[in-house]
Structure 1
């Protein structure tokens, strides 16, 4: 009887699973679309290759786009003509031209699933609407992967949505450069959109478009490609756009009727993908043979492989490692998806996934089997929620985070962001010194103080802003530009050896000398550069110290030059002696003190002044006052002038418990890093001493 009950229960659960899974029509439609793409590929006349697209698949997608919104379709056609014209002007080969033309035709395919009230809204988007519109690239990537569109074409579309400068995309990994195709498509898309009437604004004139693109060059767009576009337009490119499709390779692909996929059905697939992208941090669809049909970018990001192509690979713990709550890695058969493939019953699992630096992240996994109308298993859909993160990062949050990473005046990265990127670069280098080589360029505007004194601080600000803009325009998209402080800037150059970094610095130096300024037309500036390349035995501090030393060598040798210092150029360096004459401050504080009271008072002082306690023992307390940066030289503010404060309270211990004896606390202050001169250190030390003394009840 018990066995019969168990059998009945199992059968009931199985039927519930089948009914539940069969209701997932969106998932089934995705599987059917993938199978359809395979069938169309197999019957095409030409021999399949890595970058081949079936004309029938392309026709279905473009017909669906035309069915959804003719204006978006025509926009895509015109963008494809622009990119072809630019690619020919840049002397690309025919295969590369074909790839970018296809990417341009499909770059807005993700708009198919956007509701009319958002797609055709005449006003500004709300935060929620903007978040939904931002998903169009992810949707395009999903649908193109299901339709077996080659990875190279999908990547062009994704990269075209990314800003050229890393300062506009603080989440982009250091060293990840954008392809020229992605940068070219971004500029062509912007030009075509600005030149046409939109529901929310009128078309811009050619001079207006040129000004807009030039203003955004170096930040959102590649400045060199903007200039290529302007030349193409001036040479008759605009006239070619008046006859959309005349020279396009897409002619003949579209038909008015008889499309192989019903348009309404395909639009529903897009809508379903929007639901999945909004609801989950990632998802994957795996066929009954265990091979991946679709793993969206969110899924691949969870497993630290965002830029990899998983299509057709087998689902395994090597590809997507998962562990139990005790951080024991699961075998292939114990992975949630494979368990569901066997049980054929939907289930929810809680697992952990490994992160870099030996960290872990908790993951909720919903695994759902899919069945055809004959109740035959056709695959499993798996959906992920990161339990410690919010799915939707609001546009306001991203804006605030970006503001916090920028220098308020120049718009390039600030010192804090620079230090974070330098730490990441060094950590990556330690893991793989060959692939993650980097160089550091340090620059300083020559005689900047005299510019402020002669022309005024408004001109000084103009110089900083103009120079920062030049650095952003001249730097490659993988490079990182930051203002370290005052007139000092740092450029972090991934995958650039010392000799090439010197050439980059010389190019910067030459272009800086050509700058002109609105607030002082007669003003010309020069700059000094220091360069160093990371080496195997380096610490982050040592490579930055070399760049800093190289800069000062340039300034000491007459300025307006570039100096490279490598590790072999550094012989027996001795650390600066902070205890030498002029760099040591000693004083005392008399007060009613005993050890327990002393510790409590110092804890309060540390909290109020953001001091860092380094050593706390009976009668001996050390703390750091001020923030220590990667570069040892002191900054202009007290917070950038770190000192070591040593307190000797042994006298207080001798009278421990006596509240009536006046005891002496000896204070010794020495610099951390490199003060510019003894006088500067003494001012800082006296200020620190006065703050400390005022915190205690002095009886001098």
Structure 2
């Protein structure tokens, strides 16, 4: 394919007609390039001289200027275009294309991406999937390239090759009416080589694929996007050794390579000792390349100059894919340690360059696996001897291992304190939380409440729908508890289908409202596992009272739940009046009441009234006996006598203290209320079991706590009354209620 230069002269004569018709510029360029490609015997193995470079500039003209403009705009795109042009040149040689076809193909390949000079830098540097508006800018580059070439090309051949390069072989894409073999063979070849090079070279948004995988991708689109015959020929060509570069690639393409273009330039070290720099350079380069931490060099224009191996391992982006690109925080998904992305103004790298200050930052970046990890970044500006900023260096140390250990510890603690099925707090953790809540609120005098609940007829759910459906019902119920509970509340699975909610800083009324909200929501929510039917739940609510322990408040909530079940289920039952002072009755201070004359052996004696019938008042006393593990000593038709040993009481100051057992006697009598309802009057007396016990001061304090607890259980208030009720108590239900009671037994 080489052409002979004019034989009458040893120099090039542009007027010689043997080089081609003057009215056909592309053929003139073809002849000039072909002549430049013809090596002489004397210079076949030598580098090009200045005359060759001048000939190239004359031959290519505007084409070379456009290519260097693209190289200045985006170096990776220019490098891709040059590789595509070289490979097209080699392939055209194996196909024996006509000289003018080869010329057009090479120039079209070199300039097929020239439209990217009109794409913003941040779009070209985007490391991930482009947003819709960014993709529109990238697609617009095709039209921009065609407009640029149409304005400077004398003919339409090269413009058409680039236009048809975007058209698919089957005509399904590309906005072209031409398809199949009607497409120029040069355009079909360019489309294949363009795709192959893009797949086999590292990109900022994707790692390079192997040659075999690229072949498989081309073959899978053969007949649709690409010419199947040319794909087979291209794969076969690359499967065998290629011709030597000096024989297959045009000289002008090699001169455009960065190595040849920069061979006349070197960095001026301003008087530095070259021998010393040469001796230190390998050591410095070795340290940066093999250091464990990622190191990145960025110049004053935010262009990436260096990217060591650790940075490649950490980010998954290769050196070839990022060097020459502009730095953007989006490249690494850069964010602070809380995951908040940086803006252009607060990007720590840009701040370091503009402000000239170094800093240590805890950042989050996207690693090679696409996950976000935490790094410690040391960002240091680089300043020249003249005081001007040259850029910045970034050293990043992966700290995800340390955080991973912390996360593992947290994960182990979470698993140890959570119910594996529902994800709620387990019973052991709930017990710790309950003790802490009771101690804190008793000390501060603030209210707190406990809600105990369970799913109604849960065994029937398991028997009817299966245990898997039962598990799903438990999970759904737990989710409803967690969703409705306050942020400070603790939701726990107590066991089986029973659940507990600890409500700090919450009184009985607020806790009952919360329980009612959950109850109504559960009753109205269809369960998929139950065939679309709804389930129901029962709730017991209580508030902390004077003298309460963790066991007593939990037992009281359990008793309230039991009452809800006995009253028909799917309801909320509330027990106790909390720590409030009585609103009605004797308003004397406890100090004055304590020293009111009483029988010598009695520590405290009070008269109280409760607005409930006699049988319900007796039921509440039964709960008091169960919660305080009391022993029933005597039951008559109108009274009950119980003993509470000191082990169930608070205020035991020292481990060596011996508790004072106390005897509580309660006398009941029914009375009529203001509105004609049945109320109950209770006479309460508390005395030590032995009159000779000298620890009277502690006994009185414990008696006061027991009295306050009784008042809360019965929802009663004190009043001054010396009369004795005349109504007789029905002995049958009373003896049935209290007959055969034992210590701590719940009735």
What TM-score, normalized to structure 1? 0.30
- Larger of the two Rg values belongs to structure: 2
What TM-score, normalized to structure 2? 0.29
Point out which structure has higher relative CO (alpha carbons under 8 A, 6+ apart). 1
